[in-house]
Amino acid sequence: MAKTILILGACGQIGTELTLALRQMHGNEKVVASDIREGGSELMESGPFELLDATDYNALEEAVMHYEVEEIYLMAAMLSATSEKFPSRAWNLNMNTLFNVLNLAKEGKIEKLFWPSSIAVFGPNTPKEQTPQSTVMEPSTVYGISKQSGERWCWYYNRKYGVDVRSIRYPGLISWKTQPGGGTTDYAVEIYHEALAHNRYTCFLKADSRLPMMYMDDAIRATIDLMKSDGEQLSIRSSYNLGAMSFSPADIAKSIQKHLPDFQMNYEPDFRQEIADSWPSSIDDSQAREDWGWEPEFDLDKTTETMLAHLREQMAK
C-alpha cells in the first residue's frame, strides 16, 4: 500500500511543484497538500487539500492522524528578504513549524520528514568559492540564523531520538510555474518575465553578484531522490550542500540576449545586495553526489531556453 505524504506550505514556490511531482509518482489521493491559504487551480483540483497552520501542533497532529500520514515535507517558511522586515515573525514561523514536525517524528506519529535549509546558513566569513559541506557558518540574516539553528536541531533529533530527517541547502531557485516568494535570488525569476513583457529589467543586485542557482526541476528531483535514498547511506543529517550552476545578473542578461538581442539590463542595488554579499559564489556538493548520486541536469543556457519557452506559452493563453 502506498504511503501517505503531507506537504506543509504546499502553495509556495517549491511546495506547489513538489506536490504535483509527488502526486504524479504516488497517486493524487496519497499526497495531501496544505497551507494557510488556497493555491492555484492545478494544485487544488488534483488532490486533497487542507487549510492548515503548521505552527499549530494540535491541528497538525489531527491532520497526520486523519490521513494516516507517514512522511511530511515541511516547505512553509518566511524567506530571506521578507524575514529581514519581520524578524520575530520569521523566527516563530521557521522554528516552531520545524519543532512541530520533529516532535511528531520523535513521538512515532510519522516515519520520515524533509526540511529545507538554504545557502543562507553561510555568512561573510565563509569561503565563497566551492563552499565546503562543513565550514564556518556565521549567517548575518534572520533567515540564515533560523536555517542554521534548524540544521542543528535536525542533527540533534536524529542523533538523540533516531528521527529520520533529511535536508538540502537549496541555492537560489528558478521556476516559471509559480511567483517568487520574497527571496534575495528572486531577480533570476523576475528577469525572464520582464524580458518578455518589456525587453528590459532593473536588477536589485549588482552586475557581478555571482550566486549559486538551480532550475526548479533539478531541485524537485534532488528532494525526491534524497527522500527515496537508503538512510544507511546518508552521512549528513544536518543538511546537504547542493549545487548546479553559479552566475551573476550580468551572466543571465547575456544568456537572455542570445534569444532577445535588444534586451536591456539596469542595476539599482537595494538592501538585498548586503544579503547576497554574505552568501557563497559556488558550492561544493561532493558529499551529496557521493552519498545519494546527485547530478544536476540544467545549466544557465538550458534554464534560459526553458524559462522563455514556457513563459511565452503562458503569456499566449
| 120 and 263 belong to one structural domain | no
Whether 143 is a known active-site residue: answer yes
Burial class (CB in 10 A: 0-12, 13-18, 19+), 68: exposed
Residues above pLDDT 90, as percent of the chain: 91
- The answer on 249 and 107 residing in a single domain is no
Q: Are 263 and 193 in contact (CB under 8 A)?
A: no
Q: What is the pLDDT of residues 8-65, one digit of tens each?
A: 999 988 999 999 999 999 999 999 999 999 999 999 999 999 999 999 999 999 999 9
225 and 82 share one domain: yes
Same domain, 231 and 248: no
Measured distance CA(71)–CA(209) in Å, rounded: 37
pLDDT digits (tens, 9 = 90+) for 69-114: 999 999 999 888 889 999 999 999 999 999 999 999 999 999 999 9
Q: Are residues 134 and 47 part of one domain? A: yes
Catalytic residue among 57, 67, 73, 143: 143
Which DSSP category does 120 fall into?
Answer: G
Confirm if 47 and 33 have CB atoms less than 8 A apart.
yes
Question: Which CATH number do you get for residue 134?
Answer: 3.40.50.720
Q: Are residues 191 and 75 both part of a single domain?
A: no
Give the three cell numbers for residue 136: 564556518
Residue 180 belongs to domain spanning: 173-213+244-316
Question: Which CATH number does the domain housing residue 279 bear?
Answer: 3.90.25.10
Q: How many domains does the chain have?
A: 2
The dihedral over CA atoms of 296, 298, 300, 304, expressed in degrees to the nearest 10, equals: -160
- My answer on whether 190 and 161 are in the same domain is no
Q: Are residues 101 and 144 in the same domain?
A: yes
Indicate if the pLDDT at residue 1 is higher than 60: no
Q: Are residues 19 and 153 in the same domain?
A: yes
Residues 166 and 178 in one domain: no
* pLDDT tens figures, 227-271: 999 999 999 999 999 999 999 999 999 999 999 999 999 999 999
Are residues 161 and 24 part of one domain? yes
Do 248 and 148 belong to one domain? no
For the cut 90, the answer to whether the pLDDT of residue 178 exceeds it is no
Task: Specify the pTM.
Answer: 0.94
